Amino acid sequence: MEFTLVFHSIIRWAILLFGAWTVINALTGLASKRPYSANDNRSSLFFMIFCDVQLILGLILLFSNTWIDKIKSGMGPLMKDPTNRFFVVEHGMMMMIAWVLVHIGRSAVKKTTPENKHKKMLVFFGLAFLIIIISIPWPNRTEVARPLIRWFN
Ligand code: HEM
């Protein structure tokens, strides 16, 4: 499980990197009115791939040992504890919403007209990126704080 947690922690940085790259591409594309390029497609493709990997790792973490035991012992008491509520409900749900937005965004960008592609990129990937940023258990967050970098003990 330590392996999964370390990777879940590290892959957050890949998501943030490719998410930021995608949003910057959308903004500069809109501002300069340049045509949608292979670079735009690549950034959002990597953003999506790392979100997919993170979702799988997150589900493994959630359905393994401690968390599943807490879920089994009842959602009522679990919801009263801010740390448990965050990891079992809030974090997982918000990240899944972001994951869905990234996937819808990829197909929306593909389907739309060339002049609308950067706009769609900004809406879907920008919103997903924002949700991800606010749902990460950053070290300054009381009760759910986690390290910026985690490594094997
Ligand atoms: C973009 C998607 C996601 C990002 C960026 C992300 C990021 C993180 C980070 C930074 C941590 C703290 C790691 C540490 O303790 O060092 C964490 C913990 C956790 N995440 Fe995610 N996460 C994502 C998606 C998900 C999803 C979709 C789920 C579940 C469905 C999930 C479930 C969990 C759980 C259960 C923990 C606590 C693990 C433990 O301490 O046992 N995550 N996540």
The residue among 126, 134, 123 whose CA lies nearest residue 93 is 134
| Residue 113 scores a pLDDT above 90 | yes
Give Rg (Cα) of the chain.
17
Residue pLDDT, tens place only, 34-82: 999 999 999 999 999 999 999 999 999 999 878 989 988 889 988 999 9
Q: Please indicate whether residue 7, judged by its CB atom, sits closer than 6 Å to ligand 1.
A: no
For ligand 1, whether the C-beta of 147 sits within 6 Å is yes
Ligand 1 proximity of 102 Cβ (cutoff 6 Å)? no
Determine which residue's CA is closest to atom 15 belonging to ligand 1. Answer: 146
47 C-beta closer than 6 A to ligand 1: no
pLDDT for 124 equals 98
Q: For residue 133, which of 103, 102, 91 has the smallest C-alpha distance?
A: 91
In the three-class reduction of DSSP (H, G, I as helix; E, B as strand; rest coil), residue 36 is classed as: coil
Q: How confident is the model at residue 153 (pLDDT cuts 50, 70, 90)?
A: confident
Mean of the pLDDT values across residues 97-118?
98
1 pLDDT higher than 80: no
Q: Looking at residue 20, what is its pLDDT? A: 98
93 pLDDT higher than 90: yes
Amino acid at 44: S
Of 42, 30, 29, the C-alpha closest to 106 is 42
pLDDT of res. 130? 98
Q: What is the mean pLDDT of residues 105-121?
A: 98
Closest to 23 measured CA to CA, from 51, 45, 44:
44
| Ligand 1 touching residue 87 (CB < 6 A) | yes
Closest CA relative to residue 7, chosen from 61, 74, 84, 43: 61
Q: State which of 8, 83, 100 you would mutate to test the pocket of ligand 1, scoring each by most atoms of that ligand within 8 A of its C-beta.
A: 8
CA of 4 to the centre of ligand 1 (A): 10
pLDDT mean over 16-31: 98
* Averaged pLDDT for residues 88-106: 97
Please tell me the predicted confidence (pLDDT) of residue 135: 98
Is the Cα torsion angle 135, 136, 137, 142 positive or negative in sign? Answer: negative
